[in-house]
Amino acid sequence: MRIFREEDPRETNLCDRKHWGRPLTASDTAHREKVNYMISANRRIKQKEIADEVRITKERVHHIVTTVLGCRKVSARWVPRQLTVEMKVQRKDMFTQLLERYNAKGEAFLQRWRRILSLPLRSRM
């Protein structure tokens, strides 16, 4: 049998009540910027190193890196989940150049790429 306290219906409040305790300052803008700067400077940095440098917990570092900054770990590097604006512009420029070459040379352009891609990887370089 569970025991519970019946509350006065007038005291029922669905809003958050003020509570005591430390405010969450580890996820503020200053810490986010520091973490982002450290990851940009060294993509192979570890969460423990960031936590020690910024002086926040590893859990908060993980939250900032994965949720706020949207990065994930790939082959021991922190990689943004989405392409940056510069990367998108670079890809667009590259594909525009390839399209211009195709429009200028036509089928000869495609045949050259087929021939290159059929070679072993070492021969391509």
Worst-scoring range by mean pLDDT, 13-22, 53-62, 95-104? 13-22
Share of the chain above pLDDT 90, in %: 21
Whole-angstrom Cα Rg for the chain? 27
Residue 47: strand, helix, or coil: helix
Query: Is 78 in contact with 39 (CB distance < 8 Å)?
Result: yes
- For all residues of the chain together, what is the average pLDDT? 80
The whole-number pLDDT of residue 29 equals: 87
Distance (Å, rounded) from C-alpha 39 to C-alpha 36? 5
The per-residue pLDDT for range 10-56, each reduced to its tens digit, is 566 666 666 666 566 777 888 999 999 998 888 888 999 999 999 99
The whole-number pLDDT of residue 115 equals: 84
Distance (Å, rounded) from C-alpha 61 to C-alpha 52? 10
Question: Using 50, 70 and 90 to split pLDDT, how confident is the model at 93?
Answer: very high
Distance (Å, rounded) from C-alpha 124 to C-alpha 1? 76
Q: Given the structure tokens 């306290």, which residue do they identify?
A: 5
Q: Given the structure tokens 């989405």, which residue do they identify?
A: 82
Distance (Å, rounded) from C-alpha 65 to C-alpha 18? 29
- Global confidence as pTM: 0.47
Distance (Å, rounded) from C-alpha 49 to C-alpha 42? 11
